[in-house]
């Protein structure tokens, strides 16, 4: 519950920088883990266990916009979930950055400090499950091509999460990619 509260506070206060970790835990499916700087272009690639810095990137070139598609939003959210599980602060803050900045402006610490506290609230079992969590595309809501809702129920993992653990998130297309902008 503490993780959700911390995430909800950041999400509400800051837009794209939020920490919603999934949904009601469902069986885990493998998915590609990616680095913060280089989001994955494949939503359901097999999970990797190497260090984040040793992973190949299938991210759009920095000067080219990412596709404005439901699939890309799912990839970005999975990237965020995997980074939470690995305690990869760089990736978490990259995907949730715009929201975290707003939270910081409202008195919360910088993303790097705030998420370190969030990492401590996630159990080891949940962290391991997040590393391979996937998103069920049938359970998300496309509000507009620029705004996609990721409810807790869409997250598939080997651990169980409640709204207070992980919550639901909104991803918006900003700055040529999707970012977490709201969470509950």
Per-residue pLDDT for the chain (184 aa), expressed as one digit of tens each? 444 434 443 443 333 333 333 333 333 333 333 333 333 333 333 333 333 333 334 455 567 899 999 999 999 999 999 999 999 999 999 999 887 887 788 888 899 988 888 899 899 999 999 999 999 999 999 999 999 999 999 999 999 998 888 889 999 999 899 999 887 7
User: CA separation (Å) from 45 to 31, 62, 78, 132?
Assistant: 5, 21, 11, 10
Please say whether the dihedral angle defined by the alpha carbons of residues 168, 142, 103 and 43, taken in this order, is positive or negative.
positive
How far apart, in whole angstroms, are the C-alpha atoms of residue 182 and residue 132?
23
How confident is the model at residue 165, as a pLDDT?
A: 82
Statement: the pTM of the whole predicted model exceeds 0.75:
no
The H-assigned helical ranges of 23-122 are: 70-86, 89-95, 97-105, 111-121
Three-state secondary structure call for residue 68: coil
Q: Is 68 left (phi over 0), alpha (psi -120 to 50) or beta?
A: beta
- Backbone φ and ψ of 143, nearest 5°: -75, -45
Give the pLDDT confidence score for residue 58 in this predicted structure: 45
Q: How far apart are CA 178 and CA 180, in angstroms?
A: 7
């Amino acid at each position: 519950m503490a993780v959700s509260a911390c995430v909800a506070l950041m999400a509400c206060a800051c837009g794209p920088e939020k920490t919603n970790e999934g949904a009601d835990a469902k069986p885990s499916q493998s998915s590609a883990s990616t680095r913060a700087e280089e989001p994955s272009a494949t939503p359901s690639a097999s999970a990797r266990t190497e260090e984040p810095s040793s992973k190949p990137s299938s991210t759009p070139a920095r000067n080219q916009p990412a596709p404005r598609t439901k699939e890309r939003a799912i990839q970005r959210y999975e990237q965020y979930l995997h980074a939470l599980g690995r305690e990869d602060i760089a990736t978490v803050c990259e995907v949730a950055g715009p929201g975290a900045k707003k939270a910081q402006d409202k008195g919360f610490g910088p993303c790097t400090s705030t998420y370190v506290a969030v990492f401590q609230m996630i159990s080891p079992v949940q962290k391991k499950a997040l590393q391979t969590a996937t998103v069920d595309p049938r359970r998300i809501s496309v509000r507009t091509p620029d705004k996609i809702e990721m409810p807790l129920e869409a997250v598939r993992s080997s651990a169980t999460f409640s709204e207070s653990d992980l919550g639901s998130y909104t991803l918006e297309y900003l700055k040529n990619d999707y970012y977490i902008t709201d969470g509950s």
